Structure 1
Amino acid sequence: MVFPDFPTLKKAVGTYNMLHGRDYITNHKKRANWKVSCTHYISTPSCPWTLSAKKLHGASTEWQVTKYTQPHECTVQFNQRPADKLCTSSLICDLIFPKITADPQYKIKHIQVDVRQRFGVDISYRKAWYARHKCIEMQYGNYQQSYNELPQFCRQLQLSNPGTIVEIMTTHNAERGTGYANFLYAFWAFKPALDGFRYCIPVICVDGTHLYNRYKGHLLLACGYTANKEIYPLAYSIVDSENNASWTWFLRLLAENVFPHHNSMCIVSDRHAGIDAAFNSVEQLKGGRVKRRFCLRHIRSNVMSRVTRNRRLRKLVWEAGTAVTRDQFLQHMHAIQIKWPAAYAYLADIDFDKWTLSHDDGHRYGIMTTNPSESLNNSLKCCRMLPVTAIVRMTFHKLRTMFADRRTAGEGM
């Protein structure tokens, strides 16, 4: 029997013994020879199971089994099922690789179930996690190396799509302390999206979400809305965390590259302090041309967490924010003031034009939440544990697929 290489031979031997509930030891391993035997080969009574193999001569990587004595004759008392030892992460990786390729989010608990069903053994969470990690690196590249590959990949992306905006910066974030290494900031906005944004309504939703890869970090993104109320991805950024420096950097590049020629623009977001800092420091966001509006869903959530989780209050806050006329708005606010003074004080402390439709003067075009960016975040959830270059590649693929589907739908009208 011939195997293409030594790892394949070793996996085959390990799988056989694991399925039969036996253990084996390596008697010797040299450059071109390998011999293994049952752990009870020299016990009393002994088990005669042995296997010898050698590497074929020449430049070949193939290994051939030269001697094989079977079967195992271990008695029941010798059968200890050394599952955790024989079920290696490499063996698990071979089992789950097709599933991880189809869905990088494939859960650890599902991997444990797969191994139990296939091999009849239980593995630890750590081993299952490490096996998934190896699968991801096999399919999408090494996490650390991906940071080194990202600048070159982005340059190639610009060459193949002229007009695509990419900016990469290595920075040390003082807010994280001196114990942290420099982190790579990356911003990208694809040319097709920039060209088409001129036909969208002048409203951008911005949001951030966690990355779950080896080096953590955050993914910031901006998306717009078409006149048909369809989500329109615009720009992305990978940063170390959501802080003043990262939000200022992202919104500055957004203002310089995505909407520099628009006479007016509205940005809808939550009340993150980093976004406040950006509006206070970025010149392109000053002067009244760019309006800041708050997500009503976040405002309502803050009221619920600060005051009380009451269904009636929850409904009133939403009705006050979405009221079309100021009389309706005052009516809802009065109802809140009577029964929940603390909630009224919190809402009254926020500029009404920032969170209500009745005081907005039409800048937010009726978009009351950051749901577009939240939805886009959710659609990218599968790539948030991948290496950074894979994240950029998948955002490009998603945008290309979205544009192609919408073009096909438009041609069919």
Structure 2
Amino acid sequence: MIHNFQFKTKRSEPREYLVTCVDDNCNWLLRASKFRKTETFKIRKYVKTHTCSLDIIMEDHRQANCNVIGELIKSKYMLIKRVHTPHDIINDMLDDFGVSMGYQKAWRAREKALELARGNQDDSYQKLPIYLHMLKVSNPGTITHLVTDNTDHFKYMYLAFANSIKGWNHCRPIIVIDGTYLKTSFGGTLFTASTMDANNNIFPLAFGIGDSENDSSWLWFFTKLEETYGEREGMAIISDRHKSIENAIDDVYPKAFHGACIFHLCHAPTRRYTMMTSNIAESINAALKAARTLPITTMMEGLRSLVQKWVWKNGNEANGTFTQVTTDTETVLRENFIRAIKFQVHDIY
């Protein structure tokens, strides 16, 4: 493969191994046999000069199968945000090894490399229960739920971190809901519930996974959300206009105002503060775009890492705040004060 030639196995026996060029008219061969009574093979004959045509050299290399190529390119997929397409694999293998291949082989090699770098989809579901258990052990107060069907296959998953549960009462009583699809072979939908803290930072509340955005899955997610966070006075739930979300809110939060992010921009019976759209949910979806291609347990670890990074950053910012209000609010007050001292008051009478 390295020298752009293909070979085939002519003889493979316990004591002898013989390979030749794929072209029967070519002189290239290598023959090896066991050395005396040892298990070591010794090369007995090696004709290193090829006499085959260029047409044979440039054919699809059989020795460069998807497993071999997957091992060679797995480092390309260690960073989950990196995009390396089958066309990139075709070009790289031709440039680096002189190996030509078709699109289908490149696709299979990519799938193999992804599995080697990020884990197997099936195995990841098997690891999910112990992963969720360890999340609760390492983060006391974290709530997780895992539901399987009557054949013991995955059905639903719910996760709310302890930090989110503790911080909810210090946030505005507005919850933004959204669902986005998972880009894996098993599919599924990632459900998110989030709000904003006092400093206008995104504050994730809960995550869930289900088969799709249907009545059953949304009802299950909202039920778990209500069990975790309850219902606050004046609470509003903001989402897109998906009918299943509306049905679930009617069942689980009958007293809460449900605002469609675009339709209810002009009027709401409860306070919306500055949260007029579902943009924060879209921001979370964008931040998790690459993670949504990963096996489920690896994806959840990526999600945990992202939330932990946000908590650490926002916590450091809060610890460095020495005013009675948040830094964002303090900035607005100062700017308004500077403008106000330039105003003059006139008697209109």
Query: 8 Å contact 2:76–2:82 — kept in the other structure?
Result: no
Q: Is the 8 A contact 2:77 2:84 kept in 1?
A: no
User: Is the Cα–Cα contact under 8 Å of residues 143 and 388 in structure 1 kept in the other structure?
Assistant: yes
Which has more helix, going by share of residues? 1
Distance in structure 2 (CA, Å) of the matches to 1:51 and 1:262: 80
Write out aligned runs for 1:295-334 (5 A): 295-296=261-262, 299=263
Q: Offset of 1:91 from its aligned partner?
A: 2.6
Alpha-carbon distance, 1:113 to partner: 3.0
TM norm structure 1:
0.70
2:64 to 87, 100, 112: 87
State the Cα distance separating 1:69 from its structure 2 match: 1.6
Q: C-alpha separation between the residues in 1 aligned to 2:68 and 2:90? A: 13
Aligned to 2:76: 99
Is 1:110 paired with 2:88? yes
1:36–1:52: 8 Å Cα contact kept in structure 2?
A: no
Equivalence for 2:282: 374
Percent of residue pairs bearing the same amino acid type: 29
TM-score (norm 2): 0.81
> Hey, what does 2:136 align to over in structure 1?
158
Alpha-carbon separation, structure 2, partners of 1:171 and 1:363: 40
- How many angstroms does 1:251 deviate by? 1.0
Change (3 A) 1:28 1:402: farther
1:379 Cα deviation from its structure 2 partner: 0.8
Name the residue aligned to 2:248. 278
Do the aligned partners of residues 65 and 245 (structure 1) sit closer, same or farther apart at CA in structure 2, a change above 3 Å counting? farther
Cα 1:241–1:78, aligned 2, differ >3 Å: closer, same or farther?
closer
**Structure-1 separation of matches of 2:15 and 2:166:** 61
Does the 8 A contact of 2:192 with 2:207 survive in 1?
yes
Is there any run of 5+ residues in structure 2 with no aligned partner, and where? 322-349
Cα distance in structure 1, aligned partners of 2:91 and 2:28: 33
Distance 1:239 1:53, change over 3 A: farther
1:228-260 per-residue CA deviation (whole Å, 9 max, x = no partner) reads 221111211111111010111111111110x21
2:49 to 72, 76, 88: 72
Is the contact between residue 18 and residue 29 of structure 2 (CA under 8 Å) also seen in structure 1? no
SS at match of 1:83: coil
Q: 1:125 to 1:269 in 2, by over 3 A?
A: farther
Q: How does 1:125-136 map to 2 (within 5 A)?
A: 125-136=103-114
Distance 1:136 1:78 in 2: 32
Deviation at 1:208, TM superposition (A): 0.9
In structure 1, stretches of 5+ residues that fail to align are 1-14, 173-179, 300-354
Alignment CA distance shift 1:155-1:65 (3 Å)? farther
| Cα shift at 1:51 | 5.1
Corresponding residue number in structure 1 for 2:344: none
After TM superposition, list the pairs within 5 Å mapping 1:346-361 onto structure 2.
355-357=264-266, 359-361=267-269
Which residue, out of 242, 245, 259, partners 1:293? 259
Note closer, same or farther for the CA distance 1:374–1:31 as it changes in structure 2 (3 Å cut): farther
Residue 148 (structure 1) aligned to one of 126, 130, 139: 126
Q: Go from structure 1 to structure 2 and tell me whether the alpha carbon gap of 1:200 and 1:67 turns closer, same or farther (over 3 Å shift).
A: farther
Corresponding residue of 1:260: 230
Aligned counterparts of 2:317 and 2:15: Cα–Cα separation in 1: 61
Secondary structure (helix, strand or coil) at the match of 2:10 reads strand
Instruction: Indicate how the Cα distance of structure 1 residues 124 and 218 shifts in structure 2: closer, same or farther if over 3 A, else same.
Output: farther
Asked whether 1:215 is paired with 2:192, we answer no
1:199 aligns with 2:170: yes
Computed over aligned residues only, the root mean square deviation of the Cα atoms, in angstroms, reads: 2.8
- 1:400 alignment counterpart: 308
Say which SS state the counterpart of residue 294 (structure 2) adopts: coil
Structure 2 Cα separation of the partners of residues 240 and 255 of structure 1: 20
Aligned to 1:52: 32
Counterpart of 2:115, as a letter, is E
Kept after mapping to 2: 8 A contact 1:147/1:184: no
